[in-house]
Chains A and B, each alone.
Chain A
Amino acid sequence: MTSLRQSSHYRWMVVSRVLAAVVGGYALASSAMVLLALLWPLPKAEAVAASTMLSFLLYALIIIWIFTVKRLKTVWLGLIFSTAVCSGLSWLLLSGAAQ
């Protein structure tokens, strides 16, 4: 039913989304957990432990989001933007704490 071109296009869409989930999603989950650990009002080590426990839920929600958004461009831009925001804020908080 689908032409070869359409079906290969579909395959590339799937590959791109899987890559977004594995690489982009993991990067976002990692940077979000760092930010969460820095913001959590607990002693430093406990905050890290708590956000590590929660990070898998974060990652799962991110993956679901990646697979439900219609446009692939939105997925990638959203991932890059939110990872940048989380990392940037974490960097500011860490360098602020170092002073």
Chain B
Amino acid sequence: MKEGFRQCMAWLHTWSGLVVGWVLFFVFVTGSAGYFNTEITRWMQPELPLHQAMPQNNGRLAMMAMDRLEEAAPNAEFWSITLPHHSQASRHWEDFSISWETTPLAGHEHGIRGREVLDPSSGSSTKVIDPRDTGGGTSLYVMHYALHYIDAQLAFKLVGICTMLMLMSLITGIITHKKIFKDFFTFRPGKGQRSWLDAHNVIGVMALPFFLMITYSGLVFFGLTYMPAGVAAIYGTDDKAIERYVDDLFGDHSHEAISRPTASVPDMIAKAEAAWGKDQIRSVFIQHDGGEAPRVDIGRAYGGQVRIFDAETMRFHAHTGEALPLDPPDSLTMKTNETFRALHEGRFAESWLRWLYFVAGLLGCGMIGTGLVLWTVKRRKQHDAANIPFGHRLVEALNASTIAGLPAGVAVYFWANRLLPIDMADRANWEMNFLFLIWGEAFIYAFFRDIRKAWVELLGFAAVAFTLLPVLNALTTDKHLGASLPAGDWVLAGFDLTMLALGLAFAYMTIKVNRIWLKKAAQTSKANDNSLLGETA
């Protein structure tokens, strides 16, 4: 091993970063998209109408929902009614719906669950508008931890290994980087390798708290999968071990079959509305824990705090209507765990903070991208231009195809959403296949073509693919900028405008890289001329 602590750390930083850099880049691209997953899904389902809120009577809706629940699930473990409201957690309008779980049959652990969307005017089960078959933003962001084409359990573990190496890269990067504050203000553009190093440092430091948070919370998310030793040693390794552990953490209740509350549910809702406001009622939840009073929980809409699912609740006795005490708050340990998850998902973030999350995610792509490029720039000089080793070529091709080709693949995923036939079988899968086809072809292309030309052309392709998306949208749907901007629909308009901005960013990179390569090419040919004139080395 190399001498000295800092050198060791630099070595570890270089190699832990390189080995998983491309997977991490993919994770950051798809994960960043996840901060807008509902918005992306909305854009990919242009059949859905622009939303209009209508005045509603929550008490009347709850009564209609219970009428339907009595029909659909007379012997249930729980009834849950979602009242129409705007949810910060999902950032879209939640429809009027009911769900339930039947009491389990003998010998079964769980009953059967059901869900229906109801028509707010009649209370009967409705068929919602059926949008086109699409993976939407969800398929895109789920890949950042479940990958694609491979078994999810295996994918969790692979992503976990990459995440651990990311954590190592961050820690060793900080150690290597002794003058962290001074270097932050150092940028030496147009100086080749040094500029790449400066860019890597500036981006890395700029969003360092985000990188540390997102990496560590990502590991904590799958803590039991990655570090199973604790549960295994203390709760055993049998099938029920995890269940015993979870029951220990959250309490284990038996449930009795519920019946329709005889106390007035509209009165309970009115009390909650008086305390929180009319548009703040999320749900009505009816359950009967064994040995305790049957209860009705009125849940407040998610929002206003980091641990977003920890929303306020009012609890009432189902048959007398008197207020009941709530469960004790979660322990500090569980609150810590929930905070990790909440920070990772960023559901609590309203629009400005959400954009900050997204930009921080893109900075993550930038940090990984510049790091990968730096590896090749450092080593390119060591190789004779005519005789570049296979490993170096492989890294160069993976870099170009991932940094330029993968974003182009994401753009083509959106193109496929608009262009594939609406009634095509397996349509949602084919959207995704197109993403990977583009990425794969970009790799083959970059591997066999002159790497400089490949970079310029792939960046240019991404620029065109993103820039033309709003145009394609205008040609294929009626939800284009001309309609969404006047209607003030910032979800749809925001998507088109973001694609345009990404397209312009890629166009800028194309021009920039093209100019630098041209300058380099001119210098090299001049150097070659000189060496022909002078003596050989």
Contacts and interface: CB of A to CB of B under 8 A. Distances in A.
Interface of A: 13-14, 17, 29-31, 33-34, 37-38, 42-46, 48-53, 55-57, 59-60, 63-64, 67-68, 70, 90, 94
Contacts of B245: 45, 48
B8 A37 contact: no
Contact of B167 (A29, A60, A67): A60
Contacts of A94: 233-234
A53 B220 contact: yes
19 contacts: A34-B233, A34-B234, A43-B248, A44-B248, A46-B249, A49-B223, A51-B230, A53-B223, A55-B230, A56-B219, A56-B227, A59-B164, A60-B168, A60-B171, A64-B9, A64-B171, A67-B12, A70-B1, A94-B233
Given A17-B1, A38-B234, A53-B220, A45 B248 contact: yes
- Of B5, B12, B216, B227, most A-chain CB atoms within 10 Å: B227
Interface in B169-198: 171-172, 175
B116 to A, nearest CB: 36
B333 interface: yes
A69 to B, nearest CB: 9
Contacts of B235: 48
How big is chain B's contact interface, by range? 20 to 34
B interface, by DSSP: helix, strand, loop or mixed? helix
A13 B2 CA distance: 11
Contacts of A49: 223, 249, 333-334, 337
B1 A13 contact: yes
B231 interface: yes
B334 A53 contact: no
B168 A48 contact: no
Nearest to A17: B1
Contact of B216 (A14, A42, A56): A56
Nearest to B3: A70
A25 B248 CA distance: 30
A64 to B, nearest CB: 7
B522 interface: no
Nearest to A22: B161
Given A30-B229, A44-B234, A90-B233, A55 B249 contact: no
A77 B491 CA distance: 59
A45 to B, nearest CB: 3
Contacts of A37: 230, 233-234
4 pairs of A and B residues whose beta carbons are closest in the complex: A45-B248, A30-B229, A46-B333, A52-B223
B494 to A, nearest CB: 35
A53 to B, nearest CB: 5
Contacts of B230: 33-34, 37, 48, 51-52, 55
B330 to A, nearest CB: 10
A31 B168 CA distance: 20
Interface string B356-388: 000000000000000000000000000000000
Nearest to A37: B230
Nearest to A56: B219
Contacts of A17: 1
Nearest to B233: A34
Contacts of A63: 12, 168
Contacts of B175: 64
Nearest to B5: A68
A12 B48 CA distance: 61
B340 A53 contact: yes
